[in-house]
């Protein structure tokens, strides 16, 4: 109800009379911040989203879309939903990268300077596939996912290094959709998902073992740059068709 009332009472003003509330980063935290601000900012203010990607990346689904073919387009959501139903003039989106923040301005890679009254920094984290894509445009981002799909499909023996949420999801999805593949999940800690509780850790370990996924815990293998061979602390060396590294 408050959002409906706000929509009816907010009045658009000329740009030079409006103060900016700048949000840097349009992933889940930034998206929700912008959505809430479009429903609450008083007349005289607007929210400006600075986001390098053309679409919101649904990163929680990237591990699965890195395995399963034909659905990668569903991982990229247009930002048009933020302006739908919002008051005229309250929302503005800039596809760019913030390079510097001063006390008054956000400087962008394009050279533009955005003056702000309030600033929200929601830049998130950095990672690589299958956690995140490097591309900022939807076409090339989907191509990255398809490239990972092809690598997984072609590999018979796969090692996944990192037993956090992404590693666990990737290992289970690979084995679920390609049960004939040999999948090994390697983790440096004594338990998978080490930031979670023991009940979940034990449950996940049992499920993965039942799926015939090999678990190698308390291991930090080394890999030479010119091979797919992992060198374990015991001196054992094992070659894989594909090694996916540094997953959390």
For residue 243 the two structure tokens come to: 């090694």
Complete DSSP assignment for 106-145: EEETTS-EEE-SEEEE-------TTS--S-SSHHHHHHHH
Q: What is the number of helices (H) and of strands (E) in the chain?
A: 7, 16
Three-state SS string across 176-229, please? HHCCCCEEEEEECCCCCCCCCCHHHHHHHHHHHHHCCCEEEECCCCEECCCCCE
209 C-beta neighbours (distance < 10 Å), count: 11
47 C-beta neighbours (distance < 10 Å), count: 24
pLDDT average, residue stretch 114-142: 95
pLDDT at 213: 98
Separation CA 202–CA 217 (nearest Å) = 13
pLDDT at 241: 97
pLDDT-derived band of residue 7, with 50, 70 and 90 as boundaries?
confident
Residue 46, pLDDT > 80, answer yes
pLDDT at 224: 76
124 or 115, which is more confident = 115
Beta strands in 55-103 (DSSP E): 55-57, 76-78, 91-95, 98-101
Which domains, from first to last, does the chain contain? Answer: 2-121 (3.50.50.60), 155-244 (3.50.50.60)
Is 57 in contact with 6 (CB distance < 8 Å)?
no
Which residues make Cβ contacts (< 8 Å) with residue 109, sequence separation at least 6?
A: 96, 97, 98, 99
Token look-up 């990737």 returns 170
* Average pLDDT value for the chain: 95
Q: Per-residue pLDDT tens for 11-26?
A: 999 999 999 999 999 9
Q: What percent of the chain has pLDDT over 70?
A: 98
pLDDT at 95: 98
Residue 135, pLDDT > 90, answer yes
Count of CA atoms in the C-beta half-sphere (13 A) of 131: 19
Separation CA 85–CA 81 (nearest Å) = 8
pLDDT at 1: 79
pLDDT at 248: 59
4 or 64, which is more confident = 64
CA angle 145-150-153, nearest 5°?
A: 125
Q: Per-residue pLDDT tens for 196-228?
A: 999 999 999 999 999 999 999 999 999 876 689
Token look-up 């290992």 returns 171
Query: Nearest Cα to 63, choosing from 55, 76, 72, 54?
Result: 72
pLDDT-derived band of residue 5, with 50, 70 and 90 as boundaries?
confident
Residue 10, pLDDT > 80, answer yes
pLDDT-derived band of residue 132, with 50, 70 and 90 as boundaries?
very high
pLDDT at 112: 97
């Amino acid at each position: 109800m408050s959002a409906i009332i706000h929509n009816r009472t907010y009045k658009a003003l000329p740009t030079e009379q409006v103060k900016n509330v700048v949000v840097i980063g349009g992933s889940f935290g930034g998206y929700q911040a912008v959505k809430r601000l479009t429903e609450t900012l008083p007349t005289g203010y607007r929210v400006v989203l600075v986001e390098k990607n053309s679409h919101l990346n649904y990163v929680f689904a990237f591990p699965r879309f890195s395995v399963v073919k034909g659905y990668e387009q569903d991982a990229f959501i247009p930002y048009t939903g933020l302006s739908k139903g919002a008051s005229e003039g309250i929302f503005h989106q800039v596809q760019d990268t913030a390079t510097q923040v001063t006390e008054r301005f956000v400087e962008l890679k394009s050279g533009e300077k955005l003056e702000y009254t309030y600033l929200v920094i929601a830049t998130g984290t950095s990672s690589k596939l299958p956690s995140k894509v490097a591309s900022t445009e939807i076409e090339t981002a989907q191509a990255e996912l398809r490239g990972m799909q092809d690598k997984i499909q072609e590999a018979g023996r796969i090692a996944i290094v990192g037993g956090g949420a992404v590693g666990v999801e990737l290992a289970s999805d690979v084995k679920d959709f390609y049960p004939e593949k040999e999948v090994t999940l390697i983790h440096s800690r004594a338990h998978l998902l080490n930031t979670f509780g023991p009940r979940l850790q034990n449950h996940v370990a049992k499920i993965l073992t039942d799926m015939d996924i090999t678990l190698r815990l308390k291991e930090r293998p080394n890999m030479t740059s010119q091979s797919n061979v992992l060198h374990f602390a015991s001196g054992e060396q094992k070659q894989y068709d594909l090694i996916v590294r540094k997953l959390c």
